[in-house]
Amino acid sequence: MSSIVLASGNAGKIREIQAILQNDNILPQSQFNVVEPEETGSTFVENAIIKARNASQHCQLPAIADDSGLVVDALQGAPGVISARYAGVGASDQDNLQKLLRDMQGVPDEQRSARFICVMVYLRHADDPTPIIAQGVWEGRIMQAPAGDNGFGYDPIFWVDDYQCASAQLSPDIKNQLSHRGQALRILAEHLVVQ
Query: Is the CB of 58 or the CB of 138 nearer to ligand IMP?
Result: 138
Query: Is the CB of 58 or the CB of 66 nearer to ligand IMP?
Result: 66
Using DSSP, state whether 44 is helix, strand or coil. Answer: helix
Give dist(CA 155, CA 148) in Å, integer: 8
Q: Minimum distance from CB of 106 to ligand IMP (Å)?
A: 23
Contact mark string toward ligand IMP, 119..148, x via CB under 6 A: ------------------------------
Query: Is the CB of 43 or the CB of 60 nearer to ligand IMP?
Result: 43
DSSP letter at 104?
T
Q: Minimum distance from CB of 76 to ligand IMP (Å)?
A: 17
Strand partners, 159: 141, 166
The catalytically annotated residue of 24, 66, 67, 161 is 67
Parallel/antiparallel/unpaired status of strands 113-123 and 158-160: unpaired
Query: Is the CB of 54 or the CB of 83 nearer to ligand IMP?
Result: 83
66 is catalytic: no
Contact 180, 160 (CB under 8 A): no
Q: Minimum distance from CB of 158 to ligand IMP (Å)?
A: 7
For residue 132, CA distances in Å to 4, 46, 189 come to: 14, 13, 10
Give dist(CA 33, CA 35) in Å, integer: 6
Nearest alpha-carbon partner for 49 in 110, 111, 106, 134: 134
* Contacts (CB under 6 A) with ligand IMP, residues 74-113: 83-84, 96
**Contacting residues toward ligand IMP, per CB under 6 A:** 66-70, 83-84, 96, 116, 151-155, 179
